[in-house]
Amino acid sequence: PAPAPAPAPAPVPAPAPAHAAPGSFEPEIPVQSIPDPTAPVSPEDTAEIDLQAVEAKLNDPGSTVDFEPITDDPIDTDATFDAGTSSTLMWGARSDVGCVRSHNEDSYLAASPLFCVCDGMGGHAAGEVASAIAVETIAKTGPKSADAAQLAASIEAANAAIIEAAVNGVGRPGMGCTATAAYIEGTTLAIAHVGDSRAYLLHEGTLIRVTRDHSYVEELVDAGEITADEARTHPNRSVITRALGSDPAMYADHFTLNVEEGDRLILCSDGMSGMVPDGEIERIAQQSSTAQICTDNLVDAALAAGGGDNVTVVVVDITDDGRVREVARKHKRTLFFAIVGLLIALIVAGVASFISIRKSVYLGVKDDAVAIYTGIPDPFLGLKLNWLEDETSIQLKYLPEDTQNRLREGIPQKNLKDAQDAVENYRAQIDETQTKLIEDARAIQQDLTESTEAPGTSPADALAGGTSPSESPADAISPSTTTEGGAA
């Protein structure tokens, strides 16, 4: 673009332009971001520019003034191609001299997540100097987050640097450039721009132009005097009303937009937007599979249309807006707490079960005698969960066979007292059985005695009834052992 003639046409206050983004994606540019151009200072929400600090930094790299550059890598202001990826972005950049100009005055910055396009003006050895200074300064002073005001401040620092360079004999007096910069952080896109280089956003397949040109024909379009198509061929289409390098009090428009995964950002000089209609830009952006392919296709389209100016395009694809990772983090946190909760529940249930098992009582067998146990008879997961509580002298063989089998399997009891009562019942049963056996033996002995005393029965006949001289009738029917509580 050519420098603006003096005096430049007064800008029209900013009604909602015809090209504004539709719906919820219409950029909300506050009124104070487009103030009266005669105002002596920048908007209040834009950082103040210290011209002396800028000059000191440019003239003395070792000075104490520190701009904390956004990248430590040197900026190649003569680059014509770039492509890259990060965890959240994929980008491509290309700059071409075009089909008419003899040299390229454009420069671009691709220092993810900061991107910028600058279109130089002022003729040979001037426009390219201005755009290079702008890119270098924006890289040095760019923000560390999606702060639109700080991004605007970095463009204003570039303006001061260009003016200082011209004063010091670098380039030519009156040299300047446009600047359209973007910083992408998660779902936030910060934009700051001056001049007629543009920013477009492809959202859900629809192309949205998010910047307003600072140009004479743009004001005519906003006033309804010409159409956007007529502006592309208007004789004064190269006249811009705001640029870096001419006014120390220049300010940059700035605002933020919400973006999401799948959106595509396009920054370009007027060498592309002036040659390719918005409808064609939209079609190319929709059909290009990657950011670099989209960049190449847009530059090629501008060259095919005549390439009347330098052509520079930067395309950035938002491949991850951070929300997926946040959902994943929330899912992991939820899963973590769910697992912890489950483990706590299992521990509580295990403790409760152990206490319940420890309180359980059953009758079992220990060395062929009745014993009292706490716990459960059968092992659980290979673990023995029973403990001997008390041994008794009650031999298993003196109990009924059915009772013996049940004792070997374990007979549950309500509590320890019930178990002790059951043991006493077994003891009483055995005592009762032994007593009955003794009584029966005595009765048999009595019968034998009486039979031997009866007439006609000899003692030998009585003995022949089933006893031997050495064995008494009681001994013949009594158990051979005794237990506590009486004869068995």
Together in a domain, 391 and 446: yes
Question: Between the CA atoms of 460, 462, 467 and 470, what dihedral angle is there, to the nearest 10 degrees?
Answer: -50
Q: Residue 426: count other Cβ atoms within 10 Å of its Cβ.
A: 18
Domain range enclosing 389: 362-487
Q: pLDDT for 303-335, tens place per residue?
A: 999 999 999 999 999 998 655 455 556 667 777
**175, 162 Cβ separation under 8 angstroms:** yes
Name the residue with tokens 């994929």. Answer: 90
Last residue in a domain, options 290, 305, 321? 321
**9: in domain:** no
**346: in domain:** no
Residue by residue, pLDDT tens for the chain (488 residues) are 544 444 433 333 333 333 333 333 344 333 333 333 333 333 333 444 444 544 554 454 443 333 344 445 555 656 676 788 888 899 999 999 999 988 899 999 999 999 999 999 876 568 999 999 999 999 999 999 999 999 999 999 999 999 999 888 888 888 999 999 999 999 999 999 999 999 999 999 999 999 999 999 888 988 888 888 888 788 888 788 999 998 889 999 999 999 999 999 999 999 999 999 999 999 999 999 999 999 999 999 999 999 999 999 999 999 986 554 555 566 677 778 888 888 898 888 877 777 777 778 888 888 888 888 888 888 777 778 788 888 888 888 888 888 888 888 888 888 888 888 888 888 888 888 888 888 888 888 887 887 776 666 555 555 555 444 444 444 443 444 433 343 33
**229: in domain:** yes
Residue 361 sits at φ, ψ, to 5 deg, of -130, 140
Together in a domain, 163 and 294: yes
- Show the tokens assigned to 68: 């904390």
Closest to 235 (Cα-Cα) out of 208, 215, 257: 215
Residue 249 sits at φ, ψ, to 5 deg, of -95, 15
Q: pLDDT for 427-443, tens place per residue?
A: 888 888 888 888 888 88
pTM over 0.85: no
Together in a domain, 144 and 228: yes
Ranges of beta strands (E only) in 307-405 are: 311-318, 361-366, 369-375, 386-395
Q: State the amino acid at position 60 in one-letter form.
A: D
Last residue in a domain, options 321, 349, 373? 321
Integer CA distances (angstroms), 55 to 64, 71, 234, in order: 12, 20, 39
Together in a domain, 260 and 373: no
**15: in domain:** no
What is the CA angle 340-342-343, rounded to 5? 65
**354: in domain:** no
- Show the tokens assigned to 153: 């401040």
Together in a domain, 242 and 381: no
Domains identified in the chain, total number: 2
The CATH number covering residue 240 comes to 3.60.40.10
Together in a domain, 312 and 373: no
Q: Which residues are CB-contacts of 138 (< 8 A; sequence separation ≥ 6)?
A: 109, 114, 116, 154, 155, 157, 158, 179, 181
Q: Identify any residues that bridge with 412 across adjacent strands, giving them in sequence order.
A: 362
